[in-house]
Amino acid sequence: MIKPHGAETLTPLYVADDAQRAELTKEAETLPSVLVSSGAAASAVMLGSGYFTPLTGYMNIAEATSVAAEMKLPNGLFWPVPVMNLVPDEQLTDAVKSADRVALRDPNVKGHPPIAVMEVSAIETFRWKQKNFIIEKTFGTDDMEHPGVPAFENVGYNLLSGPIQVLNYSYFRTDFPETFRTAVEIREDIAARGWHKIVAFQTRNPMHRAHEELCKIAQREVNADGILIHMLLGKLQPGDIPAAVRDASIRAMVKHYFPENTVSITGYGFDMLYAGPREALLHAVFRQNCGCTHFIVGRDHAGAGDYYGPFDAQAIFDEIPADALEIEIFRGDFTVWCRKCEEIVMMRDCPHGGDDYFSISGTKQREILAAGDPLPPEIARPEVAEILMAYYQREVS
């Protein structure tokens, strides 16, 4: 394993002591409160889980602007995406404005219980130009048709910054008890397995055969002891396959097609940004904090539509300082079924081309399923296809 980003040890902000957490939860009910956005609640989960090590809370305007402009905090720490708690005017009550501490309430859990207690370092209001600059730098666009831009644009202009203490992991621990894991837990599991070199794979989709083979190629080429399949469990755009279905299909694939004790299937509680290159860098930070030594960045990583080129998310790693991250990147090429090789290949490694190739993608997989057609064996393993087809049949009916 490698050390966490910017720290010798993880700095999870979850209050682990039961008595202290119970006392803080009780206090939270007496504090002025803010109903935060889904994105801010997910960031609280990531802060609590240690994935955002070494951050201590939400950024202020100067910090968020520095991250957007230069991919580093004013103190010099590399960080690719602002972590902000933006709130609309109606949440900025007189009680909140005058408070030193506020309770942050979870929009994704019934009754909106407190997810964290925040020490209010500053309450600032963005000017439109300031906020738009951050959006454009983060997403490469301010187009409201981009699936990630509205989540930043529509949550208000008031920024609450300061350190937080996290009380729970929102709905992720209860809804995904077998899959949701903190960075702390993943490091403990890796150590228990005796793995030293670990390659991580990020997914928001069910894994088709190209994903499967990409993991195997990466493990083989870097000589890794194991693979961390790390799926996003938070909010997605309409049309993406729900986390529970993805989880089941990935588990079926690993059970039947990977050797025992070579894969750890886990998930993390964050909403998808669809920020392409910037999000790829953030994903690398997460996996370094998990202890992984290598991270797979494939074609159109964390992308959406045609907003990014197919390998922009790889190229951005060449633009950051060499010492910004300790984790190493494994760069995936277009992965296809080659009719002549009769197997999944990365195009850069195959002597064939053109009509020899059958293209595989998550988009194509979803299109076939939505049309009610069976998935061909070149795209999905039969055990995986069965789960996905059952889901789409339920949705259509």
DSSP 363-395: HHHHHHHHTTPPPPTTTS-HHHHHHHHHHHHHH
* Chain CA centroid to CA 125, Å: 27
Task: Judge if 100 and 81 occupy the same domain.
Answer: yes
Task: Judge if 58 and 204 occupy the same domain.
Answer: no
Q: What pLDDT score was predicted for residue 396?
A: 53
| Bridging pattern class, strands 226-232 and 263-268 | parallel
- Torsion angle defined by CA atoms of residues 262, 268, 274 and 279, in that order, rounded to the nearest 10 degrees: -70
Secondary structure letter of residue 351 according to DSSP? S
Helix (H) or strand (E) holding 87: strand 86-87
Burial 32-52 (b: 16+ CB within 10 A, else e): bbbbbbbbbbbbbbbbbbbbb
| Domain contains 96 | yes
Task: Judge if 68 and 146 occupy the same domain.
Answer: yes
Q: Using an 8 Å Cβ cutoff, are 336 and 357 in contact?
A: yes
| Domain contains 6 | no
Confirm whether 381 is a catalytic residue: no
Please report, for the domain that includes residue 168, its CATH number: 3.10.400.10
| Domain contains 151 | yes
Q: What pLDDT score was predicted for residue 395?
A: 67
Query: pLDDT, tens digit, for every residue of 155-180?
Result: 999 999 999 999 999 999 999 999 99
Q: What pLDDT score was predicted for residue 359?
A: 72
| Domain contains 3 | no
pTM: 0.91
Confirm whether 204 is a catalytic residue: yes
Nearest to 274 by CA among 130, 151, 182: 151
Task: Judge if 161 and 236 occupy the same domain.
Answer: no
Q: What pLDDT score was predicted for residue 196?
A: 96
Q: What pLDDT score was predicted for residue 43?
A: 97
The number of folded domains in the chain is 2
Of 173, 195, 229, the position where a domain reaches its end is: 173
Which residue ranges of the chain lie beneath pLDDT 50? none
Residue 352 burial (CB < 10 Å; 0-12/13-18/19+)?
Answer: middle
| Domain contains 113 | yes
| Domain contains 66 | yes
C-alpha 310/C-alpha 344 separation (Å) is 19
Q: One of 181, 204, 251, 287 is an active-site residue; which one? A: 204
Query: pLDDT, tens digit, for every residue of 128-156?
Result: 999 999 999 999 999 999 999 998 888 99
- The DSSP code sequence of 8-72 is SS----B---HHHHHHHHHHHTTS-EEE--HHHHHHHHHHHHTTTTT--EE--HHHHHHHHHHSB
Q: What pLDDT score was predicted for residue 368?
A: 81
Query: Where in the sequence is the domain holding 223, given as residue range(s)?
Result: 182-396
Query: pLDDT, tens digit, for every residue of 268-300?
Result: 999 999 999 999 999 999 999 999 999 999 887
Q: What pLDDT score was predicted for residue 54?
A: 98
Task: Judge if 247 and 359 occupy the same domain.
Answer: yes
Q: One of 60, 168, 205, 289 is an active-site residue; which one? A: 205
Of 173, 207, 231, the position where a domain reaches its end is: 173
Please report, for the domain that includes residue 375, its CATH number: 3.40.50.620
Of 114, 148, 173, the position where a domain reaches its end is: 173
